[in-house]
Structure 1
Amino acid sequence: MALVAETVAEAAPGFYLIESVHGFVVHMNASAEHLRLVRELIGKRLMAAGVGTGTAEAAQLVTSELSGNAVRAYGDLVPLVIEVDVTELGVWVKVHDPDPGRLPHRRSVRMDDAAAESGRGLPLVDAFAPGWDVAVTPVGKQVRARVPLEGRNRG
């Protein structure tokens, strides 16, 4: 069985894909391989939906940053739900983790500070998906970000 599931019936251990008309939802245990597969899925699905390369790459970056933050906070194999959905307003990326207590927040980090070893992830998310937010849910929290479509206002 291929690790990339094309349908729910082909789900692999720790990686459960549900496709929809405008995107997909993946329930997974975070691992380097699963995160790579999600980035590939984003590229393929967004290009197939006619989304521009720049928007697709921005959505991949935002997803990588948000899921990477969860892995850094909770460790490898943390259960995540990643949703990617194309709308007329842009590409929605939603990353759900099981901890409602540790909420990400915006910090002022200079992107050109060579001495800073971390802290650039959320400023990158701000750059590509301004206005991202966090919602506490009954089973954790969801970080939601909208990447505007190329050629449209970022506001």
Structure 2
Amino acid sequence: MPGYSATWRCEPRTVGRARDLVRAALHTWGLDGLTDRAALVVSELVTNSVQHSGRRMVRVSITLPERDQVRISVSDKSSGLPALQAPDGQAESGRGLLLVDALADRWETEERNWGKVIRAELHAAPDS
């Protein structure tokens, strides 16, 4: 299946690089209608890895399993698994996975012997 991927240092500027990768892939595939949702999803997933994994590197990939479906994957070598939280109204963080859950058609975490992969799937609207 078609796809793009990159591995970067686990640092804040990687979030922007991940958004650029996703935007470029979606444009190439003619799925510009998914750009805003996909950019926000990858931003949240990479931000979680940068802030919580404690690892040096993060890998981002985007694939096209079907003509109207993309899969964004973020992997790192941390065994710490993400969990949906219900932050209090005053919290300044802790809403990333809530956004992913609201924007993605499906998402999951897969544990690996070396760490984890978090995948989010987005489907294009019929007119995209």
Tell me the TM-score normalised to structure 2 length.
Answer: 0.85
Cα-Cα RMSD: 2.1
Residue 32 (structure 1) aligned with residue 12 (structure 2): yes
Structure 2: 5+ residue stretches without partners: none
Secondary structure of 1:27 counterpart:
strand
Q: Which has the higher contact order (CA 8 A, sep 6+)?
A: 2
**Greater displacement, 26-35 / 85-94:** 26-35
Aligned to 2:113: 138
Of all paired residues, the percent bearing the same amino acid is: 29
The one-letter code matched in structure 2 to 1:84 is I
CA contact (8 A) 2:4 2:61 kept: yes
Deviations 1:100-145 (A, max 9, x none): 2x111122357xx3x2221211010001114311111121001111
Structure 1: 5+ residue stretches without partners: 1-20
The one-letter code matched in structure 2 to 1:132 is W
Following the alignment from structure 1 to structure 2, what is the Cα–Cα distance between the partners of residues 43 and 104?
A: 24
Pick aligned residue for 2:63 from 82, 85, 98: 85
The one-letter code matched in structure 2 to 1:27 is T
Deviations 1:17-65 (A, max 9, x none): xxxx722111121233333222112112211211033x12211111110
Tell me the TM-score normalised to structure 1 length.
Answer: 0.71
Aligned-residue offset at 1:74: 3.1
Higher strand proportion (structure 1 or 2): 2
- The structure that has the greater radius of gyration is 1
